[in-house]
A and B are shown apart, each in its own frame.
Chain A
């Protein structure tokens, strides 16, 4: 049975913890709003890029002179998994979920006899993966010092992926990140970057429309120019989605923690009061029985 003093100390310490989690929740809420705004601001660019590329890509689908980024290297022996996670913990299952998805994919690829290489973006993903897949990790990029993810950060990663591809270090590249749906739901997502797939959008229905387009320089050159850019854009979008998801996950995790701390304080307080009363009662009994004995 803990003494009254112990209970008092525990209540004080849980209260202190609650204050911290509460503060973290509020910080996450503020950051989430900013992250969401950034993600929304980036959306028009990515969407335009995609629709233009889809338009162009239709013309090149299945042709021999299609750029390598679209047609692939011809085999799929070596896979590069780009795992984008957060730099910090204390955000619920956010990092674990992404790492789990990546790990499952890596395991199934290894079981099929393929070679797997992993590029980690974010420290936490590496921490989660290194235990059983550490020897596959070729590089870890940390964005620790970066406060708000800028396009230059994404561009750097994009260029790295491209230079690996040009050196024929891998055949297929998949990007892992969490899509932000709402504060309570972030969906871990795997997206194939290389070879690039484009959904046949409106572009296919209006084939006539694309043919009246004039291109300068010609279509092939534009496509060759845009595909590498698209990689960076996709990475950027993933990083922004991730940033919003991370804050959302942290917000709900910290909300839970605050509530749990509140429950705990209630329980401890009841315990404390009960024990205090018991002590008073015993003291009274002692006094009364002492007086009776006289």
Chain B
């Protein structure tokens, strides 16, 4: 049995999760990373994507997260996301809306830098949509 550690998933509006878990997979900006107990201190920003949590029982819970960062410290892992929704509660329209907004951002972008960033967001969101469709 895997050792457990404290995991907190917080959005500005509420604390979604605060409990002992076995493993978490976080969609970091520079790639997904898994966190187990006694991970070395680490901090990363996150990209829009699916965050996976494995509790003691072994089943994976999935959350859609967007914008924010993950902080691995001695006490455990904290993920602060601007938006965090359990995958089961996501409605397809919401995601479509988000994609549409992001596409508008691309169209509105004035300089290359913001445009590039906005395009990245669009592609990331589309990935998420694909992944959800497959599931």
Q: Which residues of A contact B (CB under 8 A)?
A: 38, 41-42, 44-46, 48-49, 52, 150-151, 154-155, 209, 212-217, 221-222, 225-226, 229, 232-233, 236
Contact = CB atoms under 8 A, between A and B. Distances in A.
Interface in B77-96: 78, 80, 82-83
Interface stretch (B6-14, B48-56, B57-65, B119-127): B6-14
Contact of A216 (B28, B40, B82): B28
Contact of B69 (A42, A52, A155, A213): A52
Contact of B43 (A151, A155, A222, A233): A222
Interface residues on B, range: 20 to 34
B130 interface: no
B20 interface: no
Contacts of B82: 151, 155, 229, 232
Contacts of A229: 67-68, 82
B10 A214 contact: no
Interface in B13-66: 13-15, 28-30, 40-45
B15 A44 contact: yes
Interface of B: 8, 10-15, 28-30, 40-45, 67-69, 71, 78, 80, 82-83
Contacts of B41: 209, 212-214
A52 B72 CA distance: 11
Contacts of A209: 41
A95 to B, nearest CB: 25
Nearest to A224: B45
B8 to A, nearest CB: 7
A162 to B, nearest CB: 12
A233 B10 CA distance: 13
A226 B42 contact: no
12 contacts: A48-B71, A52-B69, A151-B12, A212-B41, A213-B41, A215-B42, A215-B43, A216-B42, A217-B30, A229-B82, A233-B12, A236-B12
Given A214-B40, A216-B29, A229-B82, A222 B45 contact: yes
A45 B80 contact: yes
A68 B40 CA distance: 31
B12 A214 contact: no
A214 B45 CA distance: 12
